[in-house]
Structure 1
Amino acid sequence: MADTIVSGMAGRYATALFELATEAGAVDSVKADLDQLSVMIAESADLARLVKSPVFSAEEQLKAISAVLDRAGISGLSGNFVKLVAQNRRLFALPRMIVDYAAIVAAHRGETTAQVTVATPMSDAHLAALKETLAEKTGKDVNLDVTVDPSILGGLIVKLGSRMVDASLKTKLNSIRHAMKEVR
């Protein structure tokens, strides 16, 4: 966990949750619950508003998030954690806490995540080859977070930790355009 950098209030909550989950042997189940909750927040504008809005009191947030957790079947350590976050008026930071928790779990497992941007969806064979190449370079199991962005025209952009490789057609064309301007 030493090579994972989580900071701030959300990082402290995520670290505390990871330590509790480790003691309880529930790291994976907590991660699954938090991933499910993250998807729910992303898909529901009302839930996102509840989480982010300071207009709701702690009691209103706790009552509403408890109902959401019950309906989703999220209980135990995960449910209690989210309820505690609501009681402490920190629900606005829950999405960051979920991201930080996932980063801590990945570091604990010796995994890392690469953000990959492509112009068109990649085939499974290309994804597997990229994953294998990145794993060889880092010595870690690499998960890919793939985003499709047609504006890069072609090629790909890979961000892994503090390193970035931009092999997009858009960047290459801009380099050529810049070089042509210098020649004049």
Structure 2
Amino acid sequence: MADQSNASMVAGRYGRALFDLASEQNSVAAVEADLRSLKTALAESRDLRALVGSPAFGAADKAKGLAAIAEKAQLHPTTRKFLGLLAANGRASALSEVIRAFEALAAQARGAVSAEVTTAVPLSAAQAKGVAAALRQALGKEPEIATRVDPAILGGIRVKVGSRLFDASLRSKLDSLKFALKRA
């Protein structure tokens, strides 16, 4: 748990630094678009996930790999330099979390709120619309929703907005029942 907390703190600091730099350069939209592309690439490419996450690759190898990807994708110079810095500092494995932190800051600057919705199966268009409407009403702001599918939650939904977590997953209900039965 401490490692996860430390990793999210590191990602938060890097995400904040990138957001501040992009704000100063009036390039938040360009950097955010780059990060969205990288997020998609990370989700779709097992090789890219292995490159950034595996300790088998050194910082120099990660920097070269990320630089090649940035060049091929024609990413904004700020994004390119940031990826190099992230790799050089041995933090490439935190790239996904840094992207999430940046997206949350960019959404906040636009007056929107980032929400991560996790379900056991993909949401239909009608379900996604319903979740967005419920979040809009509950938060009083326009939600920018990132969806994830995690079969481990078995069913239901988990919504994370900032540091708040609403967990109505079947997995958490079963864990609560298991805990209650152990105490009885």
In the superposition, the TM-score normalised over structure 2's length comes to 0.73
Partner residue, 2:50: 49
Indicate conservation of the 8 Å contact 1:114/1:158, yes or no.
no
Higher Cα Rg, which structure: 1
Q: Take 1:50 and 1:102, find their aligned partners in 2: how far apart are those partners?
A: 22
Deviations 1:108-142 (CA, angstroms, capped at 9, x unpaired) = 22222344455765553443343223212211101
Shift of 1:48: 1.5
Q: Take 1:90 and 1:119, find their aligned partners in 2: how far apart are those partners?
A: 30
Paired residues for 1:95-134 under 5 Å: 95-116=96-117, 122-134=123-135
Partner residue, 1:82: 83
Change (3 A) 1:29 1:120: same
Partner residue, 1:16: 17
Q: Take 1:159 and 1:77, find their aligned partners in 2: how far apart are those partners?
A: 31
What amino acid is aligned across from residue 168 of structure 2 in structure 1? D
In the alignment of these two chains, the number of paired residues is: 169
Change (3 A) 1:17 1:119: closer
In the superposition, the TM-score normalised over structure 1's length comes to 0.73
Q: Take 1:86 and 1:129, find their aligned partners in 2: how far apart are those partners?
A: 40
Q: Take 1:27 and 1:35, find their aligned partners in 2: how far apart are those partners?
A: 12
Shift of 1:144: 3.1
Partner residue, 1:164: 166
Question: RMSD of the alignment, in Å?
Answer: 3.2
Indicate conservation of the 8 Å contact 2:115/2:145, yes or no.
yes
The gaps in structure 2 that reach 5 residues or longer are 1-6
What amino acid is aligned across from residue 157 of structure 2 in structure 1? I
The gaps in structure 1 that reach 5 residues or longer are 1-5
What amino acid is aligned across from residue 55 of structure 1 in structure 2? A
Indicate conservation of the 8 Å contact 2:8/2:97, yes or no.
no
